[in-house]
Chains A and B, each alone.
Chain A
Amino acid sequence: MQVIDIVQVQNRIDSFKDQDIYVHLELTTGAYASHHDSSKHPAANFITNAVIRYSNGSIVGSNGIYRAGLKMEHGWLYAEGLTTWDESDPDRLILAGHDGQGKLVVALQLSREPF
C-alpha cells in the first residue's frame, strides 16, 4: 500500500462511473477496543460485494488524510480517514486508512468483479 496519489485515485474513481460496481466498505475499532481500554466503545461494520452505481465521485482532503464520496441514484456513499491505496492493483481501487499503530480503521474498495 502506498500513500494516496489523489490524481491517480480520482482517475480510477472516474473509470468506474455509471457502471454496476462491487463495493467493500468498512469501519472498525477492532474487536478488542473495550478489552484493552474500557473507556472505548467497540464498533465495526462492513458490507462486502454490494453492487452500487454512481454518477459522480471524488476524493478530497489534505495532509495525507482523505475523504471519498460517491453519488448514487438514491443516496451517497462516504468514507473518511483514508490514507493509503494499492498502486499495484491495475483493475480495482483499494483504499484504506490506518491509525498510528498501522492498524486498519477504514476501507473502501471498488471492483468490477466480486471481492
Chain B
Amino acid sequence: MGEEMNMMHQRILVVLPHPDDEAFGLSGTLAKYIQEGAQVTYACLTLGERGRNMGIPPFANRVTLPDVRRSELLESCKAIGIQDLRMLGFHDKTIEFEDKELLDGRIMEILQEIRPTLVFTFYPGYSVHPDHDATGAAVLRVMESLPAKERPPLLCLAFSKNCYSVLGQPDVSVDVTEFLEHKMKSIQAHRSQFQAAELLGNRTLKDREILDRFGTERFWTYPLNK
C-alpha cells in the first residue's frame, strides 16, 4: 500500500508529540499525499517546551520557547500543506505520565470527528523518546478500542537502534524526491531546533547523498488485527 493507494479524498490523521517530529520522518509523504488530494489533520500533543535547543546562537529561552516552537510548527505545516493543525496542549516529557483516560479521550474525539482512512504515529517501544513511545501507545489503545472493521491502517515511524532487527524492514516506502523542497522547508521552519544549513552544507537537493538520506520515507504498518 502507500504508493498504490489512491490519495484522492483520503483523510489522514497524524498524531505526534513534538513540533518537528513531522519534519524528518514524514513531511515528504504528507506533502505528496496532500498534492494527490488527501486531507491531513495533524494532532501535535505538546509544544516541545522542554526542548534543549534554543537556536545557535540561542535566541529562545525556557520561557519563550513554547511560543517560538508554536510559530515554527505553523510554518512547517504551511510548507507541507497540512490543512488542519490541532495543538492539544499537553506538556513535553509528560505524555507517559498523563492520565490515560484524558489522553486517549482527546485522541478518540479527533478520530471520531475526522474518521481517518489512514493514521500515522510513532511505533510504541521503538521510537527512542519516551513521549514518542507513549504517543504511539495511546494511539494504539484508541485504535484497538474500535471494532476491527472500523480501524484504518496504522503506519508507524521508528528509529530505535533495534527497530530493523526486531520489526524487520519497513513495509511501506514512499519516494519523496519530488517533494524534497517541501521537506527541507519543513525542517528549516524549526530553526530553533535544527541548523538546516549544516544538514545541506553546500549540496543541492539533487545530490546523491541528500537523496539517499532524505528521498525515501519508511513506515511499518502496525499489525492491528493480529
A interface residues (Cβ-Cβ under 8 A, vs B): 1, 24, 26, 28, 30-32, 35, 44, 46, 84, 86, 89, 92, 94, 96, 98, 101-105, 107, 109, 115
**Do A115 and B58 touch across chains, with their CB atoms under 8 A apart?**
no
Q: Within residues 25 to 52 of chain B, which ones have a CB less than 8 A from any CB in chain A?
A: 50-52
Complex contacts, B51 vs chain A, CB 8 Å: 104
Neighbouring A residues of B129 by C-beta, 8 Å:
31-32
Complexed CA–CA distance, A35 and B52 (Å): 16
Choose from B52, B57, B131, B160 the contact partner of A28 (Cβ within 8 Å). B52
Assess whether B111 is interfacial by the CB under 8 Å rule.
no
CA distance in complex: A44, B30 (Å) = 33
Smallest CB gap from A99: residue in B: B52
- Contact, CB under 8 Å: B63 / A98: no
User: Across the interface, do B61 and A1 meet the contact criterion of CB distance under 8 Å?
Assistant: yes
Query: Which residues of chain A come closer than 8 Å to B105, judged between CB atoms?
Result: none
Residues of A near B63 (CB, < 8 A) are: 86, 89, 92, 94, 109, 115
- Give the complex CA separation of A1 and B128 in angstroms: 30
- B130 beta carbon closer than 8 Å to chain A: yes
Q: How many residues of B contact A (CB 8 A)?
A: 19
Set of chain B residues within 8 Å of A105, measured between Cβ atoms: 52
Selected contact of B128 from candidates A24, A31, A86, CB within 8 Å: A31
Residues of B at the A interface (CB closer than 8 Å) are 50-58, 61-63, 93, 128-131, 160-161
7 CB contacts below 8 A, A to B, read A28-B52, A31-B130, A101-B56, A102-B58, A104-B53, A107-B62, A109-B63
**CB closest chain-B residue, reference A111:** B63
Contact B54 A98 (CB under 8 A): yes
Known: A1-B54, A46-B50, A103-B53. A35 touches B161 (CB 8 A): yes
A83 nearest CB across to chain B (Å): 10
Determine the chain A residues whose CB is within 8 A of the CB of B128 once the complex forms.
Answer: 31-32, 35
CA distance A1 to B192 in the complex (A): 14
Beyond contacts A31-B128, A84-B61: 16 other A-B pairs, Cβ-Cβ < 8 A, are: A31-B93, A31-B129, A31-B131, A32-B129, A35-B128, A44-B93, A86-B61, A86-B63, A94-B63, A96-B61, A98-B54, A101-B56, A102-B57, A103-B53, A109-B63, A115-B63
